[in-house]
Amino acid sequence: MKSRIVILIIDDEPQIHRFLKHSLAAAGYHLLHAETAAVGLAAFSAHKPDIIVLDLGLPDLDGKAVIGQIRQTSQTPIIVLSARDQETEKIAALDLGADDFVAKPFGIGELLARIRVCLRANRAIAAQTHKLTLGDLTIDDEAHRVERAGNAIRLTPKEFDLLVLLARNAGKVLTHRHILQSLWGPAHVEDTPYLRVFIGQLRQKIEAEPTSPRLILTEPGVGYRAVAGE
Amino acid sequence: MMLMSEPALPAPSRIPGARALVASMLIVLLAGLAAAVLRPLTPPGSIALVFLVAVLFSAVLYGLWTGIAASGLAFLALNFFFVEPVLTFRVALAEDFLSLSVFVLVAGLTGTLAGRLREQATAAEERARLLEHLSQLSSTLGAVASEDKARQALLHCLHVLTGRPALVVDHNLSADPPMSPDDLQAADRVLRHGTPQVAAASGWSDGRYSFYPLVIDPDVPLVAGVFRSGPSPDLGRAVMSAIEQTGAVIHRLRLGRIAGEARMQAERESIRSALLSSLSHDLKTPLATILGSVTTLRELASALPEAARNDLLAAIEEDARRLNAYVGDLLHMTRLQAGLDLRLDWVDPPDILDAAVARIRRAYPGRIIITPIEPDLPLLCTDASLLEQALFNCIDNANGIAPAGTTITVALRREHGTLQFSVEDEGPGVPADDQHRIFEPFQRGETGAPNGTGLGLAITKGIVQALGGSLGVESPLTPKGGARFWLAFPLPEGRSA
């Protein structure tokens, strides 16, 4: 049993490795470095890291291909580092199975928060519980009940499913495509406006101020993220 | 080729001209004289044969209708002058009547057949002539590169085909010489509707041209105008064929131009997106280091050992410098694109080389640089600081590519009447495919310097061109690789020896 959590960083910029080496070590993680996809994939199969931080712009192989190869054998969380102009790449990476993304440049706090959420979600998969919380909401998946401070909130079945899906992945970004596929099926993966309407209705019912939501956050162009309970 | 309906040109006229009729009358007259001379010497039946020869001649020389006219004339002459009673059209003897009838039949038949043969021969010649002009047109069209040239070729061809003036009219409706109002209207109708307009017969209207669609195109249609004449169906077909061929060629030229424009547009787009992604990468990466390091120092300071803190600070400093250099390069590039203010003066070329090398040595003290300089070089009239920057970028590029510990050679010598600076490295070399675009902005080769801005060599190129020089790269120099970048400047007149 590993005592320390191992993070594999695959990025072709030595300067990124340089500061991550110090910051992630200070945060208590053990680090593996790779500057190419080939070295990264080899390190992945040799050392079985707990989480992977992957830059999309690698010199030898497309970052998406790296995700595809890892996902063939493993569900190890993957956090993608992307530049602003890689918007579509980023969404494709998430749809291929990456767990989350951090846009460059980023503060270390943001990356550490994403890492924590991914690691926790990974552990939570084993312990599926039907009692969830999201901010000050309590959600009972089995009884189909949502309460705030003892007061029940009435949701339609679809709104409830949407809330549960987001709450179960609290802290993680879910792409439009992923949500549409999970709740409405593969025939509706392109119906983003539809989803927008449902999110709006749900926010009306659960957010204190629906115009500045705090529980369900929008990731522009990518999807939605339920706020992580710390 | 496109199939088009039969041209609606006027029906051909075979009515013989006055000249042909007069000529055939003369021929019959000659035959009559010959017959008068021969009359005492020959049996009466032979007289008819003399006239028959005349009919044959007329038909062969002037065609069907002339032949028939000649046979009629010959019949009358024979009847009037040679059949009893002479000098009347009456026929006294039954056998004379019979032989005259046979004569009319034979003469008519001969005239008809010979005339038709004649006309067929003429038509065949005409067709051959038309075909030759058409094939000339199509070989000309095969080589034309512009719409204008194609229009000229068509005008020339229509002119030699019809022997009359021709026009090509576009939506401006301008023509040289100017068209009559009726012609203008007809041309305009054809431009709008794409259906041919045939000129009315002479006297019916002012319009002298028949117009046919040349290019049917909603934006820039063209019509061809052919001067009203009485062409044969063959000529009509040839005119239509010439117009069709030219139309197809112009259409092809336009499609080619559109495709070319689309290709250029795509190229510009791809350069723009390479530029954007490079800008984003080159600005974001140092910023990511700086932001990441700063937030680490602030948020995790207590958990960081002293050495880690120092390393983070060093990383921040390095990447701030990198950003600065990058922004400097971008400004340089902008200034180059906006046009340079050259400060020309006579300079000693080795001074420039020394300055650039000294700057590199300050930046990278560990690098081995050797500088072979040919003695007794002439002065060069140039902008010293720009040239130094161009050379510096070249050396900087080599320094970024070549592995540590290898040597860079910066040389200066005369070469083919030019003064040549060269920078030689022992790096991996530049693949042949990359050599033509290595001087373009944001083109880092596969083996390029990972930390370069992608602008250094583009700036070098911009400066060298502004200073009237040329530049290039040779690679590989050895089986292991290596590259030699050179900048050459023409030596002043009379000093190149």
Top-confidence range, A140-144, B80-84, B290-294, B439-443: B290-294
Residue B9, pLDDT > 60, answer no
Q: Quote the minimal CA–CA distance from A26 to chain B in Å.
A: 5
The pLDDT assigned to B10 comes to: 37
Quick one: B301 and B431 in the same domain? no
Residue A124, pLDDT > 70, answer no
Range with the lowest mean pLDDT among B239-253, B402-416, B482-496?
A: B482-496
Average pLDDT over residues B26-41: 85
The pLDDT assigned to B311 comes to: 92
What count of Cα atoms within 13 Å lies in the side-chain half-sphere of residue B105? 6
Give me the total of CB pairs closer than 8 Å, taking one residue from chain A and one from chain B.
Answer: 82
The complex's ipTM works out to 0.75
Partner residues linked to B412 by β-bridges = B373, B421
pLDDT band at B7 (very low <50, low <70, confident <90, very high): very low
Quick one: B395 and B305 in the same domain? no
Q: Which of B307, B322, B338 is the last residue of a domain?
A: B338
Quick one: B357 and B330 in the same domain? no
The pLDDT assigned to B266 comes to: 80
Within 10 Å of residue A108's Cβ, how many Cβ atoms?
Answer: 24
Partner A contacted by B308 (CB < 8 A): yes
d(CA B306, CA B162): 98
Contact A107 B295 (CB under 8 A): yes
Q: Quote the minimal CA–CA distance from A43 to chain B in Å.
A: 23
Residue B5, pLDDT > 50, answer no
d(CA B138, CA B222): 19
Quick one: A144 and A206 in the same domain? yes
> For residue B34, how far is the Cα from the chain centroid?
66
Edge-to-edge strand list for the sheet holding A223-226: A173-175, A223-226, A216-219
Quick one: A16 and A118 in the same domain? yes
Quick one: B24 and B71 in the same domain? yes
Quick one: B306 and B384 in the same domain? no
pLDDT band at B3 (very low <50, low <70, confident <90, very high): very low
pLDDT band at A42 (very low <50, low <70, confident <90, very high): very high
The pLDDT > 70 percentage for chain B reads 88
The pLDDT assigned to B453 comes to: 62
Top-confidence range, A149-163, B83-97, B202-216, B329-343: A149-163
Contact A104 B318 (CB under 8 A): no
Give residue B109's domain range. Answer: 18-125
Residue B158 lies in a domain: no
The pLDDT assigned to B206 comes to: 67
Instruction: Kindly identify which residue of chain A lies nearest to residue B300, measuring between CA atoms.
Output: A26
Round the average pLDDT of chain B to a whole number and report it: 81
Instruction: Kindly identify which residue of chain B lies nearest to residue A15, measuring between CA atoms.
Output: B289
CB contacts of B454 in chain A (<8 Å) are: none
Q: Which of these, B73, B75, B59, lies nearest to B112 by C-alpha position?
A: B59
Partner A contacted by B323 (CB < 8 A): no
Q: pLDDT tens, B222-234? A: 888 887 766 577 8
Quick one: B413 and B470 in the same domain? yes
Residue A1 lies in a domain: no
pLDDT band at A141 (very low <50, low <70, confident <90, very high): confident
Q: pLDDT tens, B138-192? A: 888 888 888 888 888 988 988 888 888 888 888 787 777 778 888 888 888 888 8
Partner B contacted by A113 (CB < 8 A): no
d(CA A210, CA A199): 10
Quick one: B386 and B453 in the same domain? yes
End-to-end Cα separation, chain B, in angstroms: 63
Quick one: B74 and B45 in the same domain? yes
Quick one: A48 and A92 in the same domain? yes
Rg of chain A over all Cα atoms, to the nearest angstrom: 18
Residue A62 lies in a domain: yes
Q: pLDDT tens, B237-294? A: 888 888 888 888 888 888 888 888 888 888 777 766 766 666 677 788 889 999 999 9
**Angle, vertex CA B449, rays to CA B444 and CA B454, nearest 5:** 40
Q: Which of these, B107, B102, B87, lies nearest to B27 by C-alpha position?
A: B107
d(CA A93, CA B179): 67
The pLDDT > 70 percentage for chain A reads 93
CB contacts of A26 in chain B (<8 Å) are: 296, 300, 303-304, 308
Quick one: B466 and B380 in the same domain? yes
Contacts of B251 (CB under 8 A, 6+ apart): B215, B217
Round the average pLDDT of chain A to a whole number and report it: 87
Quick one: A17 and A116 in the same domain? yes
Contact B315 A107 (CB under 8 A): no
pLDDT band at B485 (very low <50, low <70, confident <90, very high): very high
Range with the lowest mean pLDDT among B15-19, B141-145, B247-251, B366-370?
A: B15-19
Quick one: A151 and A96 in the same domain? no
Quick one: A119 and A175 in the same domain? no
Q: How many residues does chain A have?
A: 230
Contact A106 B291 (CB under 8 A): yes
Quick one: A151 and A214 in the same domain? yes
CB contacts of B300 in chain A (<8 Å) are: 23, 26-27, 108
Quick one: A73 and A42 in the same domain? yes
Quick one: A14 and A119 in the same domain? yes
The pLDDT assigned to B447 comes to: 47
Give residue A81's domain range. Answer: 6-124
Quick one: B349 and B481 in the same domain? yes
Partner A contacted by B277 (CB < 8 A): yes
Nearest CB partner across the interface for B315, out of A15, A57, A85: A15
pLDDT band at B91 (very low <50, low <70, confident <90, very high): confident
Count of the separate structural domains present in chain B: 3
Q: pLDDT tens, A156-212? A: 999 999 999 998 888 889 999 999 999 998 888 888 888 999 999 999 999 988 888
Count of the separate structural domains present in chain A: 2
Q: Which of A75, A101, A124 is the last residue of a domain?
A: A124
Quick one: B23 and B48 in the same domain? yes
Average pLDDT over residues B13-18: 62
What count of Cα atoms within 13 Å lies in the side-chain half-sphere of residue B204? 9
Quick one: B350 and B441 in the same domain? yes
Contact A22 B308 (CB under 8 A): yes
Q: Which of A75, A90, A124 is the last residue of a domain?
A: A124
The pLDDT assigned to B275 comes to: 64
Partner B contacted by A16 (CB < 8 A): yes
